[in-house]
């Protein structure tokens, strides 16, 4: 996957998927949206819209393994989502270790709140901030990612 192109990043959860955009030429990554997940799966129309708007060169999905590096139920969901992204969009997809990304996202959010850049009601976007953290981890160590 090209480091000099635009990527969309995804933080996959059971109820929501955080989405961010990033590029090595930009200032890292920024949160974009939170996509709902329903019984039938993610809101693919919303994801299609983001893909059409940003025209990414690749996709980065957080790999939610346990702290010991093992599997957990959400990890299976994230891997299935990554495979579906690759099949739908025919773009390179990589998995990036996301351990502690939610903690880092919460710390960033708390700092932004303390500095007056975010409000409590903005907390719903925390999953998108976690997706930005995932992109930044990929940008910092692209060879550590696993290709789908």
Q: Is 23 a residue whose pLDDT tops 70?
A: yes
Q: For 33-39, what is the mean pLDDT?
A: 94
Q: What is the pLDDT of residue 114?
A: 65
Distance CA 12, CA 147 (A): 17
Q: What is the pLDDT of residue 123?
A: 46
Model confidence pLDDT, tens digit, residues 62-121:
999 766 767 778 899 999 999 999 999 999 999 999 876 665 656 666 666 566 665 555
Q: What is the pLDDT of residue 129?
A: 86
- What mean pLDDT is reported for the chain? 86
Rg of the chain, C-alpha, whole Å: 14
Between 116 and 127, where is the model more confident? 127
Dihedral sign, Cα of residue 71, residue 92, residue 26, residue 11: negative
**Rounded to whole angstroms, what are the CA distances from 88 to 41, 48, 59, 111?**
14, 9, 12, 37
Split at pLDDT 50, 70, 90, the class of 26 is: confident
Q: Identify the three-state secondary structure at position 114.
A: helix
Distance CA 22, CA 70 (A): 28
Percent of the chain clearing pLDDT 70 (strictly above): 79
Q: Is 2 a residue whose pLDDT tops 70?
A: yes
**19: nearest Cα among 52, 57, 46, 55:** 46
Q: Identify the three-state secondary structure at position 37.
A: strand
């Amino acid at each position: 996957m090209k480091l000099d192109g635009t990527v969309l990043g995804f933080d996959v959860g059971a109820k929501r998927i955080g989405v961010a955009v990033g590029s090595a030429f930009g200032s890292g990554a920024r949160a974009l949206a939170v996509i709902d997940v329903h019984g039938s799966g993610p809101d693919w129309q919303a994801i299609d819209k983001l893909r059409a708007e940003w025209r990414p060169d690749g996709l980065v999905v957080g790999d939610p393994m346990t702290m010991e590096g093992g599997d957990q139920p959400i990890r299976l969901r994230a891997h299935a989502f990554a495979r579906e992204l690759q099949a739908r969009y025919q773009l390179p997809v990589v998995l990036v270790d996301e351990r502690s990304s939610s903690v880092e996202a919460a710390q960033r959010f708390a700092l932004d709140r303390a500095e007056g850049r975010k409000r409590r009601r903005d907390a719903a976007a925390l999953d998108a901030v976690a997706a930005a953290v995932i992109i930044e981890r990929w940008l910092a160590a692209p060879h550590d990612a696993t290709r789908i």
